[in-house]
Structure 1
Amino acid sequence: MFNVTRKSIQWGNETLTLESGKVARQADGSVIATMGDTSVMANVTFAKKAKPGQDFFPLTVHYQERYYAAGKIPGGFFKREARPSEKETLTSRLIDRPIRPLFVDGFNHEVLVIVTVLSHDLVNEPDILAMVAVSAALTVSGVPFMGPIGAARVGFSNGEYVLNPDVEDMQNLRNNPDQRLDLVIAGTKDAVMMVESEAYELTEAEMLGAVKFGHDAMQPVIDLIIDFAEEAAKEPFDFQPADYSALYAKVRTAGEAQMRAAFAIKDKQERTNAISAAVSAIKGALSEEDLANENLGASIKKLESAILRGDIINGGARIDGRDTKTVRPIVSETGILPRTHGSALFTRGETQGLVVTTLGTGEDEQMIDALTGNSRSNFLLHYNFPPYSVGEVGRFGPPGRREIGHGKLAWRALQAVLPAGTDFPYTIRLVSEITESNGSSSMATVCGGSLSMMDAGVPLKAPVAGVAMGLILEDDGKYAILTDILGDEDHLGDMDFKVAGTANGITSLQMDIKIAGITPAIMEQALAQAKDGRMHILDEMAKALTQAQAFSQYAPKIETMQIPTDKIREVIGSGGKVIREIVELSGAKVDINDEGIIKIASSDAAAIKRAYDMIYSIVAEPEEGRIYTGKVVKLVDFGAFVNFFGKRDGLVHVSQIANKRLTHPNEILKEGQEVKVKLLGFDDRGKVRLGMKMVDQETGEEVAEKKEESSEA
């Protein structure tokens, strides 16, 4: 009934297996990839006809994690997987980016890729496995795909590169001093297609070494997919790219001069309007038959690309007049919003980000429910890209994949320099409002985020800056690497290579390639050129701020205290009764974790002290010989019970109340009276023994005992 194809190799410390022919047989390509006990299924379908007039490639990738894969039931009311999590969205982008450039030019048929995590052993990360499964599914589907690609994760521990580190090794990288890198790489046999990384101030040489290590490590996977496809692949889909050279010649004749003049305009909005006018002029010069040609859009884009790329590759100036290495003019400002905890406006050319920092308490940490378990994050970064930032009228709604991806890139760049939670016990939220955009708004978020946090008083280990690099690579091998690319250079170029870091090293690197990959030599030059650009940007940022400023008066103040873990239950109380009472009476926020670390937060220092004292009285033990202030809570024939330490009571025996004989304690004391007592010790049953007569009730100082008066006197 089944025609199963199954291939395996030993890859690193695990066995990688590809299987097809048993599940989802009606998909054009279906592959289940397994490593350890982690299994991922990739299914590919594609339309056999393109939609009329389709002038772009409609590829959609959906990566989805099923909670059953880790033996879990989803949280929430409905107990069903709902909208994609941030991890699912980012992994969908991770899969999309290296495969998109490898479809044959002109193939505009709709392609749908659905990836499902079926089993997760909590050791092998499913995202790498998902990329491998998709590559294999595309290769066997018959779609015109110029793959396969391979993928790998690279760690850097104790000076050594590590292939596909375990999930546990890569979790909470900030608190793992032995692991300095989380790099995901994808590529073909000959070239790198995509890099995504989170790093801890690695040098350019170390990053380049990681890329080379990962590319070499994925080669057995590519060979496995080729071997697998030789048995499982379907007949190639009959697709011949359209020849629109004649149409392109007409477009070029009709509008090259006007289009070239438009690209010579430096202002973005004026240039955009001029390009639109040139496109209208071209269409006005063409026949009805040419206008109906579905390759008209591709012809116009080819003309735009030829003009922009040709000028640069032949040694001419870029659109805005810069050479290939110059960064646009930069203006950095901080403290521009009076009531926020920290703010910065970072402007680079026609790209601008308003980045705002808000400091919160442990209650503000983000709860993350993932297959690997629940966790909390105390650093949040949200990136917003409204239509007005590019002068357009467009969709306005919840964040899409682009906003989530750009925000995560900036998050990776900045989290490497955050202070330890024990040194700075705040939840940090950054919000980046992109108010203008003409290329590299994610790197503007990095620069503005660094300045904004320092303005809020966050003691960063070092300022962070980021720059986007571009590439123009011609068929004859000539190329040009561009520093700080514009939007048009990103759109019409061959690479978007973002590098962020401090003066000491790289903290994040992301590379997207629109051609069939680049060589190590090009990447090495791009990294070196990016370092020069980053150092220049850091110098410009230093004109605004170089270190953390004083705390805003509106930010909460937080004090931490460590208590024994066996005292946690006492501080919380039954059903949280005790901790709620502390919060209510002190006016401060109180947060406690499983390690016994308590964070007390308030904008009022007196409220923090009240809460601290109340908690201390619960967890601390009274010291023998020390003098305390207490309150009489009960009088009995043989003495007085005094509440002297939190909720601790002790007995002052009638003989220890005064330096004279008393018939009953009520001769001197009354209930509710405040007294000074000395802790004399504990009896055989652990009861507290207190004394008053040796303490001056006015000053609280210990005095020498007077000889007790005789009963006769």
Structure 2
Amino acid sequence: MPYWFEPTSVSVEIGGRTMTLETGKVAKQAAGAVTVRYGDTVVLVTSVHSSPRPGIDFFPLTVDFVEKFAAAGKIPGGFFKREGRLADREVLVSRFIDRSIRPLFADGYNDDTQVTATVLSADPENTADMCAFIGASAALSISDIPFLGPIAAVRIGRIDGDFVINPFPEDLEQSDLELIVAGSKGSIVMVEGGAQQLPEDEVLAALKHAHGEIRKIISAIEDFAAKIGKAKVELPAPADHSALEKRIRSMAGERLGEAFQIKEKKARGNAVKAVEKEVRETILEEYRNEPMEVRSLADFEKRSNGLRTLQGDVNTILHDLGAEIMRDRVLSTGERIDGRRSDEIRPIACEVRPYPRPHGIALFTRGETQATVSATLGSGFDEQTIDGMAGRWKKTFMLHYNFPPFSVGEARPLRGPGRREVGHGALAERAITPVLPEHEDFPYTIRVVSETLESNGSSSMAAVCGSTLSLLDAGVPLKAPVAGIAMGLITDGKRTVILSDILGDEDHLGDMDFKVAGSKQGITALQMDIKVTEIDWDIMEKALAQAREGRLHILDCMDKDTSSELHGLKARAELHDFAPRMETMQVKPDRIRDIIGPGGKVIRAIQETTGAKIDIEDSGKVAVFGPDGASVAQAIAMVTELTQEAEIGRIYLAKVKRIADFGAFAEIFPGTDGLIHISHLAEGRVDKVTDIVEEGDEVLAKCIDIDPSGRIRLSRKEALADEAAREGADA
């Protein structure tokens, strides 16, 4: 190794395997760079920062998780053969790292900061996402960035009742739980995952078990940082804004308090903005009017930067004042912005099939949050093919979440889905997946789309509720109906209030966003983000219990509002008139060639004749998908005719294809011939085959034997005797 490489490493045991963190060998220009190795998976994580922009009043953090196909020995698909924009999986990993580390930077730190996790080697048994998370925490901890970590994360599953840390991907197929849990030494800070309708106490036990493993990883990162960590950037002492804050309080305190009494979101928002605008303009105008000698460009820039800084300070004070008013009201009186109790759910209204053509559609409204959710049924041809480092696979269920700007009264260009939309869609998809029927029982490809029409908090959980209703409306036989609720938390360290069904302002100004989805039996998905340093287990337990009460209430409302259509939240007995139809059948694998024909000639002819589509698996499973039942039935009949097998004892109307001295070869159905021996053409002696049949004749023939090689023996004589006996019996 070159002399200028001075790598430092530390190892920790996680899930029965060794994870090694190393720095000092690669990417040494970064503020912090760590390679994390777990099995043969290697992820490089870097952290960098630049000087803050003048007047900035927010923290510009970017987190990117990037999978390189070369890491798995693969070449990307597509025309350009190179990685492009982040795939959904990369976005989801980037998001849960971002959400976990974002609250853990020092107050007053507003440098542009970027964390990048690049997969260098991909072992299919050891997923890269946990390496990326732990590497991000380590890279920030050893850098000069004022990060208040470290934190760590693990994936936890449960197989046969036993918790498993970082289970192998194939083991997760047997697990009834999959959670990603992140935490500090004191408590958990982020949870994301799903479960197979597990009760709350079992989910809580999983979180506690995961936290024990997290603490071990954090100790290793602390040792690592102690060996190699840089001195943290010294932040300038906070400016004394006491006079400015006092003035803003006197100008806006009482009026903001009155504005936050308004229950309706838009009116409240307009009132708050009006107060803030007046205060901001008054103070900034006074600054502009202050005499200042400008002799150079530097003086001009100094004045401009001062104006931007003042504007940022005013915005921060106004934001903090609004948060203080809202939080103190909840903690002191128990009353929320819209007048509800802490555990009260907003009014709910549900409607199925409000529009005629979608296969299934529902309109779900909860307070000022509303979503219309559609369900569309398709065939195997509509499955989503995903090309990733782990290989290529197909999805038969997709849930997409859209959040157009009009839903919050804003005018913005319509773009593709952002990270938030991808994340909310994945959460709702995870909530619904455990209750979907087995694909063998309902072999449709299903796409659900949630369009947010209004939003005042909990729109992702509205997507979950609306998805249940739209799927039932489409005739999808769910194992159980699912609903979702977003919980919140307000605490000052001494007083704590848990909020059910939070508003947008309560999410923004509160200390926790905890989304829980599930059925009456238990939890199917959850996502939690903590904005305070620690949260104890008693609060977690109470939040889960309160979420269950809210979830059951929502399910009751959904049932009540749709009882005349869905009869107890049950799937419609019949698919929509405009929904396609599908049937499956099984054929012997060696008969697949008969359906396809030379160069696909036969299967194309069937599809063109019937209008149906045919999908054939190597196992011999044939799926027939058509616009209506008649086209499917016609295609099934044609496939059956092509692949039917001769049955001993069955009588066929056979067509003579060829004459021989010893008998006649007759086709009993397309592609299948049998021999009618001369002795089986008629009663008594037959001297010449053509005395009884000619080529092209149609005769009754009974299958009397099939030898091991598949050759079929037919008898006209026995067929006629059986027919005569049946006619005699009928007479």
TM-score normalised by the shorter chain: which range applies?
over 0.9
Structure 1, residues 86-136: CA drift from partner, whole Å, max 9, x if none? 111101101101000001122111001111111111111111111000000
Alignment of 1:342-491 (within 5 A): 342-474=360-492, 476-491=493-508
Corresponding position of 1:46: 49
* Structure 2: gaps (5+ residues): 288-305
- Residue 15 of structure 2 contacts residue 164 of structure 2 at CA under 8 Å; is this kept in 1? no
- Look up the SS of the partner of 1:631 in the other structure: strand
Alignment of 1:117-128 (within 5 A): 117-128=119-130
Structure 1, residues 313-358: CA drift from partner, whole Å, max 9, x if none? 1124211110100000000111112111111000000000100011
State the TM-score, normalizing by the size of structure 2: 0.91
* Structure 1: gaps (5+ residues): 171-175, 707-713
Are positions 1:257 and 2:254 aligned together?
yes
Corresponding position of 2:82: 80
Are positions 1:335 and 2:359 aligned together?
no
Q: Could you tell me how far 1:439 is from its partner in structure 2? A: 0.3
- Residue 183 of structure 2 contacts residue 190 of structure 2 at CA under 8 Å; is this kept in 1? yes
Counterpart CA distance in 1 for 2:616 and 2:351 is 37
Give the residue type in structure 2 aligned to 1:182.
E
Q: Select which of 269, 273, 290 maps to 2:270.
A: 273
CA distance 1:683–1:418, change in 2 (3 Å): closer
Corresponding position of 2:552: 535
Are positions 1:506 and 2:523 aligned together?
yes
**Stretch deviating more after TM superposition (277-286 or 100-109):** 277-286
Are positions 1:11 and 2:14 aligned together?
yes
Q: Select which of 587, 605, 627 maps to 1:563.
A: 587
Q: Select which of 30, 36, 40 maps to 1:33.
A: 36
Q: Could you tell me how far 1:702 is from its partner in structure 2? A: 6.2
Corresponding position of 2:570: 547
Counterpart CA distance in 2 for 1:425 and 1:53 is 57
CA distance 1:610–1:472, change in 2 (3 Å): same
Larger proportion of helix: 2
Give the residue type in structure 1 aligned to 2:193.
S
Structure 1, residues 647-695: CA drift from partner, whole Å, max 9, x if none? 1122334554445777766666565554332123247975433232433
Give the residue type in structure 1 aligned to 2:322.
E
CA distance 1:685–1:523, change in 2 (3 Å): closer
Q: Could you tell me how far 1:146 is from its partner in structure 2? A: 0.2
State the TM-score, normalizing by the size of structure 1: 0.93
Corresponding position of 1:600: 624
- Residue 102 of structure 1 contacts residue 515 of structure 1 at CA under 8 Å; is this kept in 2? no
Counterpart CA distance in 2 for 1:299 and 1:83 is 38
Counterpart CA distance in 1 for 2:472 and 2:54 is 53
Give the residue type in structure 1 aligned to 2:546.
Q
**Stretch deviating more after TM superposition (508-517 or 241-250):** 241-250
- Residue 488 of structure 2 contacts residue 514 of structure 2 at CA under 8 Å; is this kept in 1? yes
- Look up the SS of the partner of 1:295 in the other structure: helix
Structure 1, residues 470-492: CA drift from partner, whole Å, max 9, x if none? 11121x42121110000111111
- Look up the SS of the partner of 1:358 in the other structure: strand
**Stretch deviating more after TM superposition (630-639 or 74-83):** 630-639
- Look up the SS of the partner of 1:100 in the other structure: helix
- Residue 700 of structure 2 contacts residue 719 of structure 2 at CA under 8 Å; is this kept in 1? yes
Give the residue type in structure 1 aligned to 2:723.
E
Give the residue type in structure 2 aligned to 1:701.
E
- Residue 693 of structure 1 contacts residue 705 of structure 1 at CA under 8 Å; is this kept in 2? no
Structure 1, residues 634-656: CA drift from partner, whole Å, max 9, x if none? 45565443221331122334554
Q: Could you tell me how far 1:252 is from its partner in structure 2? A: 1.5
**Stretch deviating more after TM superposition (90-99 or 62-71):** 62-71
Counterpart CA distance in 2 for 1:346 and 1:705 is 65
Structure 1, residues 262-321: CA drift from partner, whole Å, max 9, x if none? 111111111111111111121243254396413222111101101111111112421111
Corresponding position of 1:234: 230
CA distance 1:563–1:255, change in 2 (3 Å): same
- Residue 468 of structure 1 contacts residue 483 of structure 1 at CA under 8 Å; is this kept in 2? yes
Counterpart CA distance in 2 for 1:2 and 1:569 is 62
Give the residue type in structure 1 aligned to 2:183.
G
Corresponding position of 2:652: 628
Percent of paired sites with the same residue: 49
CA distance 1:467–1:685, change in 2 (3 Å): closer
Counterpart CA distance in 2 for 1:338 and 1:684 is 57
- Residue 156 of structure 2 contacts residue 177 of structure 2 at CA under 8 Å; is this kept in 1? yes
Corresponding position of 1:711: none
Corresponding position of 1:308: 326
- Residue 14 of structure 2 contacts residue 166 of structure 2 at CA under 8 Å; is this kept in 1? no
Counterpart CA distance in 2 for 1:574 and 1:479 is 73
- Residue 383 of structure 1 contacts residue 431 of structure 1 at CA under 8 Å; is this kept in 2? yes
Q: Could you tell me how far 1:224 is from its partner in structure 2? A: 0.7
CA RMSD of aligned residues (A): 2.3
Give the residue type in structure 2 aligned to 1:381.
L
- Look up the SS of the partner of 2:719 in the other structure: coil
